[in-house]
Amino acid sequence: MAVTRAKDSEIKAAFQKFDKDNSGSLEIGELYDVLREIGVEITKEHFDGYSQIMMDDFDTDRSGALDYDEFTRFYEQVLVNESGKGQYKEMLELKEEGNSFFRSGDYLKAAATYTKAIKAAADHGIENDAKLAPIYSNRSASFLKLSKVSQALQDAEKCCELKPDWDKAHFRKAAALEASEKDAEALIALEESVKLAGPDQVPIVEQKIRLVKQRLHRHEREMHKNEKRNHGSKPPSPESKSPAPEKTAEEIAAEKEAADKAAADKEKQRAANEARMKKEKEEADAKAAKLAAEGAERAAKAEADAKAKAAADAKAAAEADKAAKAKAAAD
């Protein structure tokens, strides 16, 4: 459906009205009021769903906002379908319903509703489309809550396939792999997620990476302890002995990182100890120098006092002798 000239004027007027900084683009938070202004009947809940699709499909320059041409295409292709003809409407409504079940803790109904949303999308010809990634992601989370780990992993992998540049897809895959006790593979997924994550999500993913690495290192230490505990026991026969599994590249990388970190920590501690000892020595030397200076000052003062007293005594003796001689002469 093409926008008429009159409707185009309305859209343009509203666009200019809400483009308060005259930047030529509208932030996503402003768009809901814009649509209401131009007479599009859309609930806030539906807009929340539409906005996600909008930023994926219509923010072509990935600026995080829509310029006028991007906004007009979005209006023509998506928002005019709010009357019920839209290909996304049923899918989004079911997605929101599934989200409601998930928030209330009814994960079984949530998973079933997300499945309906995927089917509704297929009925409208939407298959293997990035728009489905959030639904597969949410269904994966529901399956994980239901301890259906293999299904959770399958949905997470589908999510990564549909939207490989979405950090949450890889984060969801990592969660399913952790539940499958595949920490080495989970670490790979998390490292991919942190590369794609926004600034607000990076600390969350990094914290998860640290936890998985700690678990891997702890498992490795336990294996070493078991090896030491079994040291000296009768070796297994050649028939029963199986070759040790080769370490994966990720395990080797994790070990190297742990060793590098330990070496760096040790060097940091050594430098800190050296700096502390140097500071203590400097303080002790300064204190000794101060005490020596004070002692020298006291000795010099004592010597000066002694010389002054000796001079005074000599003067007094000379005067007494002179007086005695003067008296003898008078007699």
Residues 259-272: pLDDT tens digits? 787 788 788 888 88
Three-state secondary structure call for residue 239: coil
Q: Are residues 193 and 281 in the same domain?
A: no
68, 83, 98: which is the final residue of a domain?
83
Answer yes or no: is 231 within a domain: no
Answer yes or no: is 10 within a domain: yes
**Span 184-213, average pLDDT:** 92
What's the structural domain count of the chain? 3
Domain range for 329 is 275-331
214-223 confidence digits (pLDDT tens): 999 988 888 8
> 65: which strand partners?
27
76-118 confidence digits (pLDDT tens): 665 554 444 456 678 878 888 999 999 999 999 999 999 999 9
268 vs 172, which has greater pLDDT?
172
16-42 confidence digits (pLDDT tens): 777 777 888 877 767 776 666 555 556
Q: Are residues 213 and 127 in the same domain?
A: yes
Answer yes or no: is 161 within a domain: yes
Answer yes or no: is 76 within a domain: yes
DSSP string, 264-325: HHHHHHHHHHHHHHHHHHHHHHHHHHHHHHHHHHHHHHHHHHHHHHHHHHHHHHHHHHHHHH
Determine what percent of the chain is predicted with pLDDT higher than 90: 30
Q: Are residues 127 and 200 in the same domain?
A: yes
Answer yes or no: is 170 within a domain: yes
Cα–Cα distance measured from residue 113 to residue 94, given in angstroms and rounded to the nearest whole number:
6
Answer yes or no: is 232 within a domain: no
**Span 304-327, average pLDDT:** 84
Kindly report the number of other CB atoms within 10 A of residue 20's CB atom: 9
CATH number at residue 143: 1.25.40.10
pTM, 2 dp: 0.52
Answer yes or no: is 69 within a domain: yes
Answer yes or no: is 102 within a domain: no
**Span 167-196, average pLDDT:** 94
pLDDT of residue 295: 80
CATH number at residue 38: 1.10.238.10
